[in-house]
Amino acid sequence: MTEPISLPACYNDLDLSFEEAWRLVEAGTSDRNSPAHMPAVGTVDETGAPQLRIMILREAFRDTRTLRFHTDLRSIKASQIHNNSATGVLFYDMSAKLQIRMSGQTRLLSMGDIADTAWNSSTPFARRCYMAEAAPGTAVAEPSSGLPEWIQGKQPDEAQLANYRPNFTTMLVEIQSIEWLYLANAGHRRAHWQWCDVQKTWQGSWLIP
């Protein structure tokens, strides 16, 4: 006899699916073991080609539809965002059998309260990445971390880090659309929500998976 298939409450419920999508993404900011902690973030390069990389999700604000990431202001992704702010963020929760694709526009905020708070609340080791002397992605003749010799293998103090603060920026992705794919033997489910700026609401619909 075949086992009954257990399906989540959101399986046939569009509103609950939307809630579940944000719940999973928000969990990624506080739980290092959450699959949403390290999404793939996509930008567009100068040839129009997509460029993806893993990034740590620092914060997710459902009310403002914003995801926050941290990066180096000199990085290749930062210059891509300057040219084209279109950004995609891809999450996959294997145990929940859920794929979530978010897309929107990114602002780089390197100064002001948000960036200062983000910088100050990061650990010294995390901030040491911003001490690289040349921009991330610069070609070098020998293998190198890019860090100054005197800080290799050491934890910088606040005074040492302060000189490198200008290299740090927050990346705020304002989400405009969300796509959800739930895999189930009983039948997959796919849904899409688009932010409607005029009505200030999300408009959702089911899609054929």
Ligand X SMILES: Cc1cc2nc3c(=O)[nH]c(=O)nc-3n(C[C@H](O)[C@H](O)[C@H](O)COP(=O)(O)O)c2cc1C
Interface residues with ligand X (CB under 6 A)? 38, 51, 53-56, 69-71, 75-77, 136-137
Is 10 or 132 the residue whose CB approaches ligand X more closely?
Answer: 132
Is 77 or 101 the residue whose CB approaches ligand X more closely?
Answer: 77
β-strand pairing of 66-72 with 59-61: antiparallel
Is 165 or 192 the residue whose CB approaches ligand X more closely?
Answer: 165
Nearest by Cα to 12 from 194, 188, 185, 201: 188
Please return the burial class of 100, using the count of CB atoms within 10 Å of its CB with bins 0-12, 13-18 and 19+: buried
Is 136 or 204 the residue whose CB approaches ligand X more closely?
Answer: 136
Strands (E), 14-142: 40-44, 50-54, 59-61, 66-72, 86-93, 98-109
CB of 76 to ligand X, least distance (A): 4
CB of 91 to ligand X, least distance (A): 14
Judge whether 95 and 28 are in contact, CB under 8 Å. Answer: no
CB of 199 to ligand X, least distance (A): 34
The two tokens of residue 30 are 């506080």
User: For tokens 């190198």, what's the residue?
Assistant: 144
CB of 58 to ligand X, least distance (A): 7
